[in-house]
Amino acid sequence: RRGCDEFDGIVVNQILCAINFSPQWSMEVVEMANELKNDFPCAVVGVDVAAGEDHFKPNSAMHHGHLKMCQRAKELGLNITIHAGETPGSEEHVYQAIHQYGAKRIGHGYQLVNQPDVLQRIQRDHADVHFEICPTSSVETGAWSESEKWENHPACKLHEAGLQMTVSSDDPAVFDTSLTAQYRIAMKEMGWSRDDVQQSLEQGINAAFLSNDEKVKLRRIIIDGSHSSCDK
C-alpha cells in the first residue's frame, strides 16, 4: 500500500489462492476475498486454486471443497483463475476449470496440445479464456523438457491455435527469473515477433481483473511503452 501511495502509476491488486491439498480452507479463502474486494489499494480481485491438480478428480476428497469455493465466487461476482493442464496427464483439467469451475484465466494449460478435440472445443466455445504461460517454470516443474527446442514448446502451439495468452514470470523468487527474462525467451528462443509480444500485452490487459477505466490507463502505459522497448 505504501508503494502505491509513494510511486505514481503503481497499482497492486491481489488474487487469493486456495491450495489443492487443503480444501478445508477454500470457503474461508473466498469469504475473505469478498470482504477485501473493495479494499483498495491492494484489493482482492479474484480467487485461484494452485499447488496441484488432484482436486479435478470428481471422486477425490479435494474436489467438492474447491468446486464449492468457485461456485460461491461466481455468486459473489469474484473473478476466477485456475492452475490447470500444467503437467503431463492433465489435459482434461483445462476444460473442467473453464466449464465446471468458471475460470476466465488458466495458469499454464500446456497439456492442452495433447488433446486436439478439447483444444478445438475451447477455441469454439471459450475463445475469451486467457492463458498465462511461464517458460522458465514450465521447465522447473516438469511440464516441459528443455532438451527440446524452445520453438517446440506447447505454448507456441497454443499461440498458433489462436488462444489468448500472456507471458508471465510465475514466482520470480522461486524460479530466479523476471518478466523481462520470460519475454526474452519468447522472442529470442521461441520465435515470437514484436507483433506477437504486442498482441500478448494487449490480450493480457483485456483479461486483467480490472475496471475498464483502469484498463485504458494500463494500455496507455504498457502498449505505448512497448514500442520503444521490445527490441532491446
- The three cell numbers locating residue 7: 510511486
Sheet holding 44-50, edge to edge: 14-19, 44-50, 79-84, 105-108, 130-133, 164-167
* Cell numbers found for residue 25: 480452507
CA–CA separation, 125 and 149 (whole Å): 31
| Rg from Cα positions in the chain | 18
Cα separation, 72 vs 78, whole angstroms: 9
Count CA atoms closer than 13 A to 23's CA, side-chain side. Answer: 16
Closest CA to 196 of 157, 216, 166, 229: 166
C-alpha to C-alpha distance for 153 and 135, rounded to whole angstroms: 8
Catalytic residue from among 28, 53, 75, 86: 86
**Catalytic annotation present for 86:** yes
Where in 61-192 does DSSP place strands (E)?
Answer: 79-84, 105-108, 130-133, 164-167
In 106-171, which ranges are continuous DSSP H helix? 116-125, 135-140, 154-160
Catalytic residues: 86
